[in-house]
Amino acid sequence: MDIGIIGSGNIGSALTRNLRALGHEVLIANSRGPASLSDLAAETGATAATVEQAARAKDVVIVTIPQKAVPDLPQGILTSSSAVVVDTGNYYPARDGRIAEIDGGLTDSGWVAEVLGRPVVKAFNNIFAASLATGGLPAGTPDRICLSVAGDDVQAKGIVVGLLDELGFDGIDAGPLAESWRQQPGTPAYCQDLNRADLEAALAKADAAQVPAYRAEANEAVRSFFEGPDQA
């Protein structure tokens, strides 16, 4: 596949390494420009690209940047793309500031879809980068980590589930994007490295009335990290 990755943080870098190891063509981009990605490109064989170039990938474009950075992407950069667009992001007010639409009830990725002006698939948001980098196992392995995939396009979700399987993870269709709150920070399904049965149970256990509480608890847990001196 021809895959663009916008964002070279822990998740973006792990995906670049693992997707290249599988033989996929990867264009990796960030806000600092291709020169900042020369080491990762040399290590993996990925192409260090501009954001605009990564957004033109034919098959899949993965947006893996902080929520607060989504509006800073070039306007309309993905509106005409025929690729599956995947959002891996999570809303943390301690990092992103307050986003009124999400605080008002829109899902994290529902807001991203509105900002980008196109549908997205929610995936890769509820796994730690270390687990994503090294936790993949062959299909059928007991306790293989399972990840939830939410979105409104069944075919697009199927493509993402297929990529997950290649990467060594089970994937399940977690319903439409409006249900993606079930895998947001603080929920029972968030970053627990669950197998398929346990993930399905965790998604079902999530309580819509508790979304503000889930967010507040998760935000408080990471506040010191985002407000630390290294994050200035």
Question: Using CA atoms, how far apart are residues 61 and 83, in angstroms rounded to an integer?
Answer: 6
Averaged pLDDT for residues 179-183: 99
Q: Which pLDDT tens digit goes with each residue over 38-88?
A: 999 999 999 999 999 999 999 999 999 999 999 999 999 999 999 999 999
**Residue 231: pLDDT above 60?**
no
pLDDT exceeding 70 applies to what percent of the chain? 98
pLDDT of residue 227: 78
Number of C-beta neighbours around residue 74 at 10 A: 10
Residue ranges per structural domain of the chain: 66-227
Dihedrals phi, psi of 219, to nearest 5 degrees? -65, -40
This prediction's pTM: 0.96
Q: What is the CATH code for 66-227?
A: 3.40.50.720
How far separated are the first and last CA of the chain, in Å rounded? 37
Averaged pLDDT for residues 76-105: 98
Averaged pLDDT for residues 174-192: 99
Better pLDDT: 44 or 228: 44
Question: Using CA atoms, how far apart are residues 119 and 84, in angstroms rounded to an integer?
Answer: 9
Sorted by sequence, the CB contacts under 8 Å of residue 157 that are 6+ apart come out as: 121, 149, 150, 151, 173
Structure tokens at 207: 């309580």
Instruction: Give which of 115, 80, 83, 84 is closest to 99, Cα–Cα.
Output: 115
Q: Strand 47-48 relative to strand 2-6: parallel, antiparallel, unpaired?
A: unpaired
pLDDT of residue 228: 62
pLDDT of residue 225: 87
